[in-house]
Amino acid sequence: MFNTTSHIAFTIVALLATSPISTVMGHMRILKPAPREGTTTDPAASLTNGDSKGLCQGLPKGSPIDVQAGNTLSLKFTDGSKNEGAAHGGGHCQFGVSYDGGETFVVVHDEFKHCFKKGPSSDNTPEVTNYDIELPADLPDGEAVFGWVWNNAIGNREFYMNCIDINVTGGGSGFTGPKMVYPNLNDNVTIDEFNGNYDTGMELYDGREEMTVGSGSGSDSGGAKGKSAGGSKGGDKASGSKEAGSSKEKVTNSEANSAAEEEEEKEEKDNQAESSYPPEVEERR
């Protein structure tokens, strides 16, 4: 007996298997080490759609992982499988560390123009999905946030960001580097679609301010390296003390020299006076 229901079901399955299906590819995100819980491939902000989750996708702090200053942090991103990993032709990536909970980041590495790609491309498939980020040896110890920011070359004007909570060990007293910028997080600072010009937006990165983390100048505050500032300060004090002592020495020597010169002048005047006496006076003397 012919089963109409079974035949219809079989036909639908066959059509689905052989017909092209339109799927939406998710964007890039960090897979390992695990970013904050709830991190998605969605942009943290989209100027095109007018929505924004904010920095770190607005997600709360998670459990930090231990990282060693001076060592490498290996990142693995989505590779296009499981409908995740649309590279949008590359773009500009910044990698940085924050010591104020993820408000401001000092940049430790940049991948400009072709992030996730090997060169200019209009293809959506990522070609580079692993990045080894060297953590500066001068990063101060303590809990921090590691952040990745991406501005895509092709497509809607969006801002992508993932955050990993970290605990830095074996570090130094302070690190100075560029202050991370957030193009397209809102409409205050924007980067247009590249349209083949991979220098688009580079003036924003070239003009980044410098900032310092650690060094006793306050976390995430601008200025010179803490280590250098401290050394300079101590050096100034020592130098000032030495100069003050030297100055006193100079005053004492000057006074002694002046007294000696006066004595010599007096003797010279006496000698001149004696040599000018007439003979009769000389005889009386």
Which pLDDT belongs to residue 274? Answer: 45
d(CA 210, CA 285): 86
Whether 138 and 274 map to the same domain: the answer is no
Whether 241 and 168 map to the same domain: the answer is no
Whether 65 and 193 map to the same domain: the answer is yes
Which pLDDT belongs to residue 84? Answer: 83
Which pLDDT belongs to residue 186? Answer: 87
Nearest Cα to 175, choosing from 216, 145, 207? 216
Residue 29 located in a structural domain? yes
Do residues 99 and 141 touch, judged by C-beta distance below 8 A? no
Whether 59 and 183 map to the same domain: the answer is yes
d(CA 63, CA 143): 10
Whether 75 and 135 map to the same domain: the answer is yes
Whether 188 and 258 map to the same domain: the answer is no
The last residue of one of the domains, among 175, 204, 223, is 223
Count of other CB atoms within 10 angstroms of residue 200: 18
Residue 7 located in a structural domain? no
Whether 252 and 214 map to the same domain: the answer is no
The last residue of one of the domains, among 203, 223, 243, is 223
Which pLDDT belongs to residue 123? Answer: 87
Residue 12 located in a structural domain? no
| End-to-end CA, the chain | 165
Residue 10 located in a structural domain? no
What are residue 155's DSSP bridge partners? none
Do residues 106 and 176 touch, judged by C-beta distance below 8 A? yes
Whether 166 and 252 map to the same domain: the answer is no
The last residue of one of the domains, among 192, 223, 254, is 223
Residue 241 located in a structural domain? yes
Residue 9 located in a structural domain? no
Running along the chain, 285 residues long, what does each successive block of 10 average in pLDDT?
A: 47 39 69 96 90 94 97 94 88 98 97 97 93 98 98 95 98 97 91 96 97 69 34 32 36 45 55 45 39
Which pLDDT belongs to residue 49? Answer: 86
Whether 145 and 251 map to the same domain: the answer is no
Residue 95 located in a structural domain? yes
Nearest Cα to 102, choosing from 58, 158, 139, 66? 58
Whether 82 and 191 map to the same domain: the answer is yes
What are residue 75's DSSP bridge partners? 131
Question: Which CATH number is 145's domain given?
Answer: 2.70.50.70
**pTM of the entire structure?**
0.69
What residue numbers bound the domain in which 217 lies? 22-223
Q: Which two tokens stand for residue 143?
A: 């809990």
Phi, psi angles (nearest 5°) of residue 130 = -125, 130
Q: Give all strands (DSSP E) within 11-90, no chain letters.
A: 26-27, 30-32, 45-46, 51-52, 65-68, 72-77, 84-86
Which pLDDT belongs to residue 146? Answer: 98
In the chain, the number of structural domains is: 2
Whether 82 and 197 map to the same domain: the answer is yes
Task: Quickly list DSSP for 140-208.
Answer: BSEEEEEEEEEEESSSS-EEEEEEEEEEEES-BSEEEEEBP--TTSSTTS-----TT-TTTTHHHHHTP
Task: Quickly list DSSP for 217-257.
Answer: S-TTB-SS-HHHHHHHHHHHHHHHHHHHHHHHHHHHHHHHH
Whether 200 and 267 map to the same domain: the answer is no
